[in-house]
């Protein structure tokens, strides 16, 4: 499990940018995750060595933050917001529809590894609720038809 010289160079850049070695941890974990898709045990050990902290420290950090994935996920990570403002605008039926359509429960991944479905706590898009995030993009003002259109359009 190694990284390209280009990757190592970028790690060096962050180490120089931050006033403290441990502080590179979050940006470093993001970099590894975007390279690998998720964080394996080996990746955690690599991050521990680079940031100069113990493997237990890394474990604590990775499990604390919801955006770090400890296992392989689908090509598209669907995050449906179900917090109050989205709930008031019908997020329950959106979530139910996606579950049925994909045949998976919250936390599940489709057998073809295309979709992983999770719920998320407030995406800060309450004025255009209900909303979901798929990978890096927000989809707002959702209804069932719109959700179908979006899911159909994903290659």
Q: Which is nearer to another protein, 22 or 148 (CB)?
A: 22
Binding-site member from 85, 117, 132, 147 for another protein (CB under 8 A): 85
Binding-site member from 11, 24, 117, 142 for another protein (CB under 8 A): 24
Residue 129 makes contact with another protein by CB under 8 A: yes
Q: Which helix (H) or strand (E) holds 117?
A: strand 115-120
Residue 121 makes contact with another protein by CB under 8 A: yes
Place of tokens 């070695």: 21
Q: Are 11 and 31 in contact (CB under 8 A)?
A: yes
Task: Give least dist CB 73 to another protein, A.
Answer: 14
For CA atoms 85, 142, 148, 132, the dihedral sign is negative
Residue 127 makes contact with another protein by CB under 8 A: yes
Residue 30 makes contact with another protein by CB under 8 A: yes
**3-class DSSP assignment, residue 116:** strand
Residue 154 makes contact with another protein by CB under 8 A: no
Residues near 123 by beta carbon (within 8 Å), at least 6 away in sequence:
79, 81, 131, 132, 133, 138
Task: Give least dist CB 147 to another protein, A.
Answer: 19
Task: Give least dist CB 74 to another protein, A.
Answer: 18
Q: Which is nearer to another protein, 36 or 101 (CB)?
A: 36
Structure tokens at 91: 């997020």
From 116, 123, 40, 35, select the one nearest 74 (Cα to Cα): 116
Fill in the DSSP letter of residue 109. B
Residue 94 makes contact with another protein by CB under 8 A: no
Cα of 42 vs its chain's centroid, Å: 19
Residues that bind another protein (CB under 8 A): 17-20, 22-27, 29-30, 51, 53, 57, 60-61, 64-68, 79, 82-85, 87-89, 120-129, 133, 136-138
């Amino acid at each position: 499990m190694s990284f390209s010289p280009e990757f190592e160079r970028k790690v060096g850049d962050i180490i120089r940018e931050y006033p403290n070695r441990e502080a590179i941890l979050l940006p470093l974990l993001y970099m590894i995750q975007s390279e690998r898709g998720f964080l394996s045990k080996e990746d955690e050990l690599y991050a521990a060595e680079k940031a100069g902290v113990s493997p237990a420290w890394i474990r604590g950090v990775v499990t604390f933050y919801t955006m770090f994935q400890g296992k392989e996920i689908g090509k598209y990570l669907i995050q449906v917001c179900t917090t109050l403002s989205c709930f008031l605008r019908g997020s329950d039926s959106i979530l139910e529809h996606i579950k049925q359509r994909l045949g998976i429960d919250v936390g599940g991944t489709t057998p073809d590894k295309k979709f992983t479905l999770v719920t998320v706590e407030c995406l800060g898009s309450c004025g255009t609720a209900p909303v979901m995030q798929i990978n890096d993009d927000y989809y707002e003002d959702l209804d069932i038809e719109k959700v179908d259109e979006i899911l159909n359009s994903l290659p």
